[in-house]
Amino acid sequence: GAVVSQHPSRVICKSGTSVKIECRSLDFQATTMFWYRQFPKQSLMLMATSNEGSKATYEQGVEKDKFLINHASLTLSTLTVTSAHPEDSSFYICSARDRRGYQPQHFGDGTRLSIL
Amino acid sequence: GQQLNQSPQSMFIQEGEDVSMNCTSSSIFNTWLWYKQEPGEGPVLLIALYKAGELTSNGRLTAQFGITRKDSFLNISASIPSDVGIYFCAGPSNTGKLIFGQGTTLQVKP
């Protein structure tokens, strides 16, 4: 089945650091990938839609300069949390959709980001 | 905007019991998806429903796409401890983005 790999699974770093999270589709090509944020005991909140070869589309209230998204190939999207602060600590999850017709989104295993 | 209302919010059941959870919306969805999320992991797709009235099974799981296209349910039969997790319903919005229900947290007592 479709596999999405997300790396790293856990990051602990100091305030002010920039952190990059990778999302890869391993056995399919994805023109569109999605980045979500999830707080404890809550549902997934869409942050942005990453489109291969073009600019990402951000949801209302999400700072594009804070959360930089790059989707340089059909199998890789990256999310960089710039100058991270403790309030950015969260569980970040990516998903990808197969470019060949409509398929359900498949999710990565998430990245637990902790900013000290 | 489009929203999915999922219930119950949480369930605490005895091993061996059957479980039922549902999802409703005020607007029509053309696809219903059910995901399970375990602690510290991403959601895993359990069942995808594409046609109104469709009833689909995956092992002990059964899900149905409501005739009105505004609801779906997920049943788990003979629950076991590894069924523990958060179950989300989801559906693509008019713009293609995936909308999630609030989730149902399931706990199973051995």
Q: With the CA atoms of A29, A43, A54 and A60 taken in that order, what torsion angle do they form, in degrees rounded to the nearest 10?
A: 170
Region label for B78, one of left (φ > 0), alpha (ψ between -120 and 50) or beta (otherwise): left
What pLDDT, on a 0 to 100 scale, did the predictor assign at position B97? 86
Tell me how close the Cα of A53 comes to any Cα of chain B, in angstroms. 19
Q: Mean pLDDT throughout A102-115?
A: 88
Span B79-103, pLDDT tens digits: 999 999 999 999 988 877 899 999 9
Residue A13 has pLDDT above 80, yes or no: yes
* d(C-alpha B74, C-alpha A115), whole Å: 37
Interface residues of A toward B, Cβ cutoff 8 Å, are 4, 6, 34, 41-44, 46, 49, 91, 93, 95, 102, 104-110, 112
B57-85 pLDDT per residue, tens: 999 999 999 999 999 999 999 999 999 99
> Quick check: A44 pLDDT over 80?
yes
Average pLDDT over residues A61-79: 93
